[in-house]
Amino acid sequence: MIDVDLPEDQTVPEPTRSFAACVASVTETPIVDVPQPSADLPGAIAHWRSWLAGRGAGLVTLAKPASFGWPGYWLAVVGQPGPDAVTGDATVVLMFGTPQASC
């Protein structure tokens, strides 16, 4: 894991930029080499799934994260995304361990 700053491109929604920073950190990839699509978070995640697959890695969604017992890196969306790229207060954080029961 490497320390990565939040990208400053204000044309990309903050949840997307924070997800990109987390991906860069956990993959130890310079942030300039991680795609930063100008899309909402679901659209950007679809792009990163392909990008990561080309590198032998991937993203999975857990239906019941609290019951997942394998510790490791995981990403959490904190706050509420708004109906468009401007509203809302969501950000994405990189976590390590197992998800808590409240997730």
Over residues 92-103, the pLDDT tens digits come to 888 888 876 555
Residue among 103, 90, 96 nearest 41 (CA): 90
89 vs 50, more confident: 50
51: number of Cβ within 10 Å: 18
pLDDT at 33: 93
Could you tell me if residue 55 is inside a domain? yes
Range of the structural domain that residue 51 is part of: 14-97
Could you tell me if residue 6 is inside a domain? no
Query: What is the percentage of the chain residues whose pLDDT exceeds 70?
Result: 88
Confidence of residue 39 (pLDDT cuts 50, 70, 90): confident
pTM strictly above 0.75: yes
32 vs 70, more confident: 32
Could you tell me if residue 102 is inside a domain? no
Could you tell me if residue 18 is inside a domain? yes
In the chain, how many domains are there? 1
Could you tell me if residue 60 is inside a domain? yes
pLDDT at 53: 94
Could you tell me if residue 4 is inside a domain? no
pLDDT at 86: 52
Could you tell me if residue 9 is inside a domain? no
Could you tell me if residue 8 is inside a domain? no
